[in-house]
Amino acid sequence: LHNITARRKAEVVQREILHENNRQRMFLEKLIQEVPIAITVLQGPEHRYVLVNPMQKYLTRGKGDIIGRPFAEVRTEYAEKVIPILDHVYQTGETYHDREVPLVIMRENNDKQTYLNVSYSPMFNEKGQVEGILVLAVETTEEVEYRRQVENERARLEAVLQALPVGVWISDNRGQLIGKNIEADRIWAGNAPLAESIDEYQQYDTWYTDHSGPLLPEDYPMVKVLQTGQPVEPVEFNIRRFDGTYGTILVSAAPIKDNDGLLVGSVGINVDISERKQVEEKLLQEQAFLRMVIDAAPNIVFVKDLEGRFVLANKQLAREYGKTVEEILGRTDADFNPNPEEVAHFQEVDREVIRSKKEKWIPEEEVTHADGEVHWYSTVKVPLINPDGTCNRLLGVATDISDRRAAENALKVYAEKLERSNIELEQFAFIASHDLQEPLRKVKAFGERLSKKLGDQIGDEEKDFLERMQAASQRMNEMIDALLELSRVNTRGRTFVPVDLNEVAEIVISDLESRIESAGATVTVEGLPLLEADPVQMQQLLQNLLTNSLKYRNPHIAPVINISGGLKEEKTRPVMAQIIVQDNGVGFDERYAERIFQPFERLVGRSEYEGSGMGLAICKKIVERHGGSITAQSKPGQGSTFIIKLPYRNR
């Protein structure tokens, strides 16, 4: 007999150990299968899959059966990055951790972007050699997306903070400044330091705008918020910036509280109002200057409201009513002017201007002064339109024209005398010019006879003398004819009748047709008005201007001449008919814009351009006879523009 008790005990222990091992292995396998961690075991230098749990299979879905296949074959899209890591772990036996690894999980409808924290751990055999790698991957997609969402939100808030057009300061609940934006640095002209305590706030050199003194630490709005937990309304302060310059800021502050309502800090807002304060100061100066100007003006200047009350008056108005400016304001003309008819006239015009919202010019009106003396004024009243389009005030400027009116009466008498003198002078010029023609014709005739009679008997010098004499007599004859034509503008002018200038222009173009074609010119006519005028002189006016443009054309380009017009309304004059003749000729220096209208005036030599130099002088005479004006605009080489303005009604 053998005692087998010890052996049986050993077998029982062995079975218990085996059972425990099986139980633990089953637990481990179940854990591997159910744990929400992707578990992979790769074996050998080719890193072949030998174990994958369901989580890992989920991550590698769509890849088929991967057991026994190398990692590089299964995960081709990640091989370039991961293979070097696996090789390093396999060769060195060192664990490697990789965070937030992006992974695309293939799905039927759409792929899903996930993120994993991955660890690569070496697996050793009995000899201490690496024979495989345990890869554990934990999905952190939610954590990554949340963190990125927070970071994006923080970035957006930071972008908004930096983009704000106001300076922003942020403190914690102890008063330490923990943040600011770019505008805060700009306002303080430098990289403003962040105070670490309330006591350090005094490095921001700030004082009250009334110059009562600098701010103490407890006076700063952000500190008051921390003390009271209540917002601080905007307050103006003067500051000395970090570059030594001075400015003015508007400061407000508000508490920062957490979700439980506990005070965790404060935010301060700085608005740079330095420019606004400068503008306000400048505006005050301008107002003072304007007050000085209107008080120094010899004109009466005033503003009235709907009730006719003076809301602004200058010293000249006060003087003429025998009052001070302060006594004028808030009162009406009826309080100072003893003439009720004048007051009624003022009130009627004032109401008309405000109601119609149109400016009104009163050329002459009587105003009785405080001493009873009557003066004559020329007054302009302008409606003051509010931004919303309403009108409840007007501006008036009145000029005392009493002396001018007396002078105009005297001038009228003188003008009548001058008119009679001009008529006599024109008659004399006509007679003198007419009488000069006869002896001039004789000089020319005798010269021609002498040239024919002598023929070849005289030398070249004598022939030159005769030719010069003939040319001079011809020019003299042209000048006399032009002078006669000039004098006839007034002496032989016709009665004014309705004239269609478009028809007149057609006649002129027809008369100059051959000359226009010879010059290769283009002449256009558009929008000429109908007016009452001397039709013959209108034809002469347009013909002289068109001839002038053809004569002084640019030799290098074809002439282009445009004759246009229309009606033009002017503030101080009745409606005017306007004629514009524009060309692309040689032009002239505008310094001579007045000179070219003088009789016999030429800006270029006679050898370059023919003519007597009277064409534009006659134009001016015709225009003046019609009560109008003629001006010229030009630049050398850029053509000329002649502008004629004639009264639309001229009887």
Under DSSP, is residue 326 helix (H, G, I), strand (E, B) or coil?
A: helix
- What is the per-residue pLDDT for 441? 67
97: its two tokens: 């951790």
Cβ pair 626, 548 in contact under 8 A:
no
**154 CB neighbour count, 10 Å cutoff:** 10
Residue 626: Cβ-neighbour burial (10 angstroms; 0-12, 13-18, 19+): buried
Q: Which amino acid is at 305?
A: D
- What is the per-residue pLDDT for 145? 87
d(CA 5, CA 611) in angstroms, rounded, equals 157
Under DSSP, is residue 351 helix (H, G, I), strand (E, B) or coil?
A: helix
Q: Tokens 């009745």 belong to which residue?
A: 574
Count of CA atoms in the C-beta half-sphere (13 A) of 576 = 19
Which pTM does this prediction carry?
Answer: 0.41
Could you list the mean pLDDT of each consecutive 10-residue stretch along the chain, which spans 651 residues?
69 70 63 76 93 78 80 88 94 93 71 87 92 91 87 86 90 93 91 89 87 85 94 93 92 93 94 90 88 88 93 90 90 89 91 93 86 87 93 92 84 76 60 61 70 71 71 62 59 77 91 90 91 87 90 89 85 79 90 81 59 79 88 90 83 43
| Nearest C-alpha neighbor of 375 from the set 397, 396, 398, 400 | 400
- What is the per-residue pLDDT for 651? 43
- What is the per-residue pLDDT for 473? 64
Beta-bridge mates of residue 75:
none
Helices and strands: H and E segment counts in the chain: 17, 23
d(CA 297, CA 209) in angstroms, rounded, equals 36
| Nearest C-alpha neighbor of 367 from the set 350, 359, 379, 356 | 379
21: its two tokens: 């091992």
- What is the per-residue pLDDT for 461? 73
| Nearest C-alpha neighbor of 541 from the set 623, 614, 612 | 623
DSSP tag of 387:
T
